[in-house]
A and B are shown apart, each in its own frame.
Chain A
Amino acid sequence: MINVRLKFTKGSEVKYISHLDLMRTFMRVVRRAEVPIAYSGGFNPHPEMSFGAPLSLGVISLAEYVDINLAQEVPLSELVDKLNQYMPMGIKVLGAIKLPEKFKSAMALITHAKYSIKAYIDDADTKELKEKLNSFINQEQILAQKKQPKKNFQIKEVDIRPMILEMNFDGCQDGICIFSCLLHSGSKANLKPEMLMQAFSDYVGLNFNRTTITREEVFVEQDGKLIDLLQYRD
């Protein structure tokens, strides 16, 4: 068996496609491209694929990862080209690495994610926003409201401050204000950027007309450093 990790984008055209739908899409792309993927056993065999951290509906990403299991060797560049030929608009494979026989899945590795956020704010006061962001981030505790889908969408208050590593404000132009942030992401601790922006908008008392969020990269923390998933080696 040959294990391969792919990095791909999920663009605006497909940002409303759910994680489950994306998985099905990949399955069909692999079939169209006639990539020799390995299948699981059992009554309902399915192609062996495992995706990294799910993306919320409406979020764009420049760095999604999927680990696939091939039944036979395919040169990586050929694999990438083939897949891209059959990908729907908005999804593009950016790179691939071969993984060892035993490896930790992308899903299990991811610890951090970096986002850029465009918030549409009428008559934004840049100076004031900057100050407000500073005081927002300097709080000991930031309580945010979390909906719990498994508990009838009951709302629970959680402290999100420990999950924010960085949050920056990069200025506004034509009513669009740009933020970037580095957040905990993954199975241990996970903060969704839309929840952070909601907490921030509540804090500053501003209504954002629209926010568009892009996941720029996801990382694994190794020896105190953040490494992206194509660079990471066990």
Chain B
Amino acid sequence: MINDNIKEFIYEDILPKVEKPGRYVGNEWNSVHKSLEGIDIRFAFCFPDVYEVGMSHLGIKILYHLLNDQKDIYCERVFTPWPDMEKEMRENNVKLFALESRDYIDSFDFIGFTLQYEMSYTNIINMLDLAGVPVRAQDRKEGQPFVIAGGPCAYNPEPLAGVIDLFALGEGEELLLEIMETYKTWKASGKSRQEFLRMAAGIKGVYVPSLYHVEYNEDNTISKVTPLYEDVPKKVKKRVVKSLENSYFPDKIIVPYIEVVHDRIMLEIFRGCTRGCRFCQAGMVYRPIREREIDELVEIADKLLASSGYEEISLSSLSTSDYSRLQELVEKLMSKYESKRVALSLPSLRIDSFSLKLIEEVQKVRKSGLTFAPEAGTQRLRDVINKGVTEEDLIKSVGDAFETGYNSIKLYFMIGLPTETLEDVQGIADLACKVLDRYFEVPKERRPKGLNVNVAASSFVPKAFTPFQWEPQDRPETLVEKQKQLRAALKKKQVKVNWHEPYVSYMEAVFARGDRRVNEVLIKAWELGCKFDGWDEHFKFDKWMEAFEQCGVDPEFYAYRRRDLDETLPWDHIDVGITKKFLKSEYKKSLKAELTRDCRTVCTGCGINLLEEGGVCK
């Protein structure tokens, strides 16, 4: 255990030297501090990115309070120290500590990571090393913490199979507590570390990679994955909370001192998505759709506003306008909070259901920009990805927005989508120009001044458990060409074009669909100095290439290869509820630009209904 002198040293001598000491002080309003008496489990909840990013994530807020609501569990937060802080820590032999107690986390029972994006993986390795915990699971000994991970990227756990002791697949509210119960039983029994992992593997939703053996074919594809023991499940099913009604939601959230990316109340209105966009992993893996009732949402909002003092609520979901009674919810919230000057924001609005009435309601307190996501530039390509929106939808929506006084519009697109041609890229520019034209159609005296159209073109990364999981990614050179074309076509003073670093997207593609063999590449890249890879200023492509070469692993095999539909995929032993049959059928339809309907209108047979006994779809 850390002594008070070290804690004082960190606080008084290290923090004055770093750029933003507020990242490391904790003590924020509603943070939980416990005495160690009566605590059976100490849990370090780690977000493998900097504080401002990690504190913007809803999942960590829910699970932090869920765990701390248990009397005998003490959950604390840990974020990745920014490189300036890491340097000070390493130079002064200070190990990674938890924000609340400032105790070193190497003596905790669990070190948990949430996996939100692949480019945070090197930070996980770096954090374990900073904590003084072996980075490879096989090197951890009795008495050392168990490293557990969950979150959307855990659905393809294989690239981290050698680092993480156990994965929690799916929603954590029930699963995490079951794992904690099993841990307590194990701790009391005095059995070995290995024995706990065996016990945990018996919990539905837990995947222990070391209990599986992977064999490969000569062409480097996977031949089979087999559990080492009979009682270890062949396929691990994700967990879902059957209904959001009365399911856990904290009545308080931490209010950070320093400004974080999403500095507001995030009110989760529903989980899952019924649209079935074919590029979208979230739309597949978060199924089934489950809404929270209006009355319950208002009650949660009441409690959170009172306990936090926040001045803004954001309605959180994968597609806000799909909430079945959105207008009613918004009116209720606004009538209650308008006089208290609480602003409401509605991210993820769809173009085809944009409602002027709704927007007028929302902007009573504060006006912000609007974001729309046509995703692709031509109708053909939008049909390929099953986006299901049209140019008319977009032009009508932005027209309404301009007429109501909006002058700032953000448009999200992807480049590098399957079957994309240069014509589709040109389509993005054409669409943006039509948005401009629509603005100028509004009579001068009625339209807001200073139009500002932001076109964000990210690079498509094929993900596991989507209909495009078999597809190759565009090469960086091609992506760069397409970006150039787009910029050239959009040289207008009202338009700004943003894009992703294509080489980062390349690495993302490797780890999104990687198998166990890329695990050592991650560790090697970290040894060569890679970390914070999601931050362009820290991304070192040459080091990554060096790591692949030294490990004898070909990144192109993972990013640019078109997989055979019958190939055993690295994540085939994970069951997210969506069947491979459905994904294959969606893939085939996509190549013919055939649409699949929203499954709220008719069941499209994705398989999620069979995940739980009795079904989970409404």
Count of chain B residues with a beta carbon within 8 Å of a chain A beta carbon? 26
Contact flag A28-B12 (CB < 8 Å), given A13-B27, A21-B257, A39-B341: no
Q: Cα distance A16–B12 when bound, in Å?
A: 10
The reply to whether B16 and A14 contact each other, CB–CB distance below 8 Å, is no
Q: Kindly report which residue of chain A lies nearest to residue B365, judged by CB atoms.
A: A45
Report the minimum CB–CB distance from A36 to chain B (whole Å): 11
Cβ-neighbour of A18 out of B22, B27, B310 (below 8 A): B22
Cβ-neighbour of A28 out of B13, B22, B258, B308 (below 8 A): B308
Q: Indicate if A57 sits at the interface (CB-CB under 8 A).
A: yes
Task: Tell me which residues from 1 to 41 in chain A have a Cβ below 8 Å from any Cβ of chain B.
Answer: 13-14, 16-18, 20-21, 24-25, 27-32, 39
Report the minimum CB–CB distance from A34 to chain B (whole Å): 8
Cβ-neighbour of A16 out of B15, B306, B310, B341 (below 8 A): B15
Q: Indicate if A200 sits at the interface (CB-CB under 8 A).
A: no
Residue of B308, B309, B310, B311 with highest tally of chain A CB at under 10 A: B309
Task: Tell me which residues from 83 to 119 in chain A have a Cβ below 8 Å from any Cβ of chain B.
Answer: 86, 88-90
Q: Indicate if B96 sits at the interface (CB-CB under 8 A).
A: no
Cβ-neighbour of A43 out of B21, B341, B366 (below 8 A): B366
Q: Kindly report which residue of chain B lies nearest to residue A212, judged by CB atoms.
A: B12
Q: Cα distance A32–B43 when bound, in Å?
A: 29
Q: Cα distance A18–B259 when bound, in Å?
A: 10
The reply to whether B22 and A32 contact each other, CB–CB distance below 8 Å, is no
Q: Indicate if A44 sits at the interface (CB-CB under 8 A).
A: yes
Which residues of B sit under 8 angstroms from A45, Cβ to Cβ? Answer: 341, 365-366
Report the minimum CB–CB distance from B359 to chain A (whole Å): 15
The reply to whether A88 and B28 contact each other, CB–CB distance below 8 Å, is yes
The reply to whether A32 and B307 contact each other, CB–CB distance below 8 Å, is yes
Which residues of B sit under 8 angstroms from A21, Cβ to Cβ? Answer: 22, 257-259
The reply to whether B258 and A18 contact each other, CB–CB distance below 8 Å, is yes
Count of chain A residues with a beta carbon within 8 Å of a chain B beta carbon? 28
Q: Indicate if A225 sits at the interface (CB-CB under 8 A).
A: no
Which residues of A sit under 8 angstroms from B25, Cβ to Cβ? Answer: 13-14, 16-17
Report the minimum CB–CB distance from B344 to chain A (whole Å): 14
The reply to whether B311 and A88 contact each other, CB–CB distance below 8 Å, is no
Cβ-neighbour of B311 out of A16, A31, A90 (below 8 A): A31
Cβ-neighbour of A24 out of B259, B307, B341 (below 8 A): B259
Q: Indicate if B440 sits at the interface (CB-CB under 8 A).
A: no
Q: Cα distance A90–B26 when bound, in Å?
A: 12
Which residues of A sit under 8 angstroms from B309, Cβ to Cβ? Answer: 27-32, 86
The reply to whether B367 and A43 contact each other, CB–CB distance below 8 Å, is yes
Q: Indicate if B557 sits at the interface (CB-CB under 8 A).
A: no
Which residues of A sit under 8 angstroms from B27, Cβ to Cβ? Answer: 13-14, 88-90
The reply to whether A17 and B257 contact each other, CB–CB distance below 8 Å, is yes
Report the minimum CB–CB distance from B365 to chain A (whole Å): 8
Q: Mark B516-546, 1 if CB is under 8 A from A, else 0.
A: 0000000000000000000000000000000
Q: Cα distance A21–B22 when bound, in Å?
A: 9
Q: Cα distance A28–B341 when bound, in Å?
A: 12
Q: Mark A62-92, 1 if CB is under 8 A from B, else 0.
A: 0000000000000000000000001011100
Which residues of B sit under 8 angstroms from A175, Cβ to Cβ? Answer: none
Residue of A16, A18, A43, A89 with highest tally of chain B CB at under 10 A: A16
Q: Cα distance A88–B367 when bound, in Å?
A: 30
Q: Indicate if B216 sits at the interface (CB-CB under 8 A).
A: no
Q: Kindly report which residue of chain A lies nearest to residue B8, judged by CB atoms.
A: A210
Report the minimum CB–CB distance from A134 to chain B (whole Å): 29
The reply to whether A17 and B306 contact each other, CB–CB distance below 8 Å, is no
Q: Indicate if B133 sits at the interface (CB-CB under 8 A).
A: no
Q: Indicate if B512 sits at the interface (CB-CB under 8 A).
A: no
Report the minimum CB–CB distance from B210 to chain A (whole Å): 41
Q: Cα distance A30–B22 when bound, in Å?
A: 21
Report the minimum CB–CB distance from B537 to chain A (whole Å): 19
The reply to whether A58 and B22 contact each other, CB–CB distance below 8 Å, is no
Q: Kindly report which residue of chain A lies nearest to residue B26, judged by CB atoms.
A: A13
The reply to whether A32 and B306 contact each other, CB–CB distance below 8 Å, is yes
Cβ-neighbour of A58 out of B21, B257, B307, B340 (below 8 A): B21
Q: Kindly report which residue of chain A lies nearest to residue B30, judged by CB atoms.
A: A88
Q: Indicate if B29 sits at the interface (CB-CB under 8 A).
A: yes
Q: Indicate if B277 sits at the interface (CB-CB under 8 A).
A: no
Q: Indicate if B370 sits at the interface (CB-CB under 8 A).
A: no
Report the minimum CB–CB distance from B259 to chain A (whole Å): 7
Q: Kindly report which residue of chain A lies nearest to residue B13, judged by CB atoms.
A: A210
Report the minimum CB–CB distance from B430 to chain A (whole Å): 32
Report the minimum CB–CB distance from A118 to chain B (whole Å): 10
Q: Cα distance A96–B69 when bound, in Å?
A: 37
Q: Cα distance A124–B305 when bound, in Å?
A: 53
The reply to whether B21 and A57 contact each other, CB–CB distance below 8 Å, is yes
Which residues of B sit under 8 angstroms from A209, Cβ to Cβ? Answer: 13
Q: Cα distance A27–B366 when bound, in Å?
A: 16
Residue of A31, A39, A57 with highest tally of chain B CB at under 10 A: A31
Which residues of A sit under 8 angstroms from B22, Cβ to Cβ? Answer: 16-18, 21
Q: Cα distance A212–B21 when bound, in Å?
A: 15
Q: Mark B1-37, 1 if CB is under 8 A from A, else 0.
A: 0000000000011011000011001011100000000
Report the minimum CB–CB distance from A53 to chain B (whole Å): 20
Cβ-neighbour of A210 out of B12, B255, B259, B310 (below 8 A): B12
Q: Mark B252-271, 1 if CB is under 8 A from A, else 0.
A: 00010111000000000000
The reply to whether B259 and A28 contact each other, CB–CB distance below 8 Å, is no
Q: Cα distance A39–B365 when bound, in Å?
A: 12
Task: Tell me which residues from 179 to 221 in chain A have a Cβ below 8 Å from any Cβ of chain B.
Answer: 209-210, 212
Which residues of B sit under 8 angstroms from A20, Cβ to Cβ? Answer: 259
Which residues of B sit under 8 angstroms from A25, Cβ to Cβ? Answer: 29, 255, 257
Task: Tell me which residues from 295 to 334 in chain B have a Cβ below 8 Å from any Cβ of chain A.
Answer: 305-311
Which residues of B sit under 8 angstroms from A13, Cβ to Cβ? Answer: 25, 27
Report the minimum CB–CB distance from A54 to chain B (whole Å): 15
Could you show 18 A-B contacts with beta carbons less than 8 Å apart?
A14-B25, A14-B257, A16-B15, A16-B25, A17-B22, A17-B258, A24-B257, A25-B255, A31-B311, A32-B29, A32-B308, A32-B309, A57-B16, A58-B16, A88-B27, A88-B28, A209-B13, A212-B12
The 9 closest A-B pairs by CB, nearest first: A28-B309, A16-B21, A31-B309, A32-B309, A17-B257, A21-B257, A88-B29, A58-B16, A16-B22
14 extra A-B contacts, CB within 8 A, seeds A20-B259, A57-B16: A13-B25, A13-B27, A14-B27, A16-B22, A25-B255, A27-B311, A30-B309, A31-B310, A31-B311, A31-B340, A32-B309, A44-B366, A45-B341, A209-B13
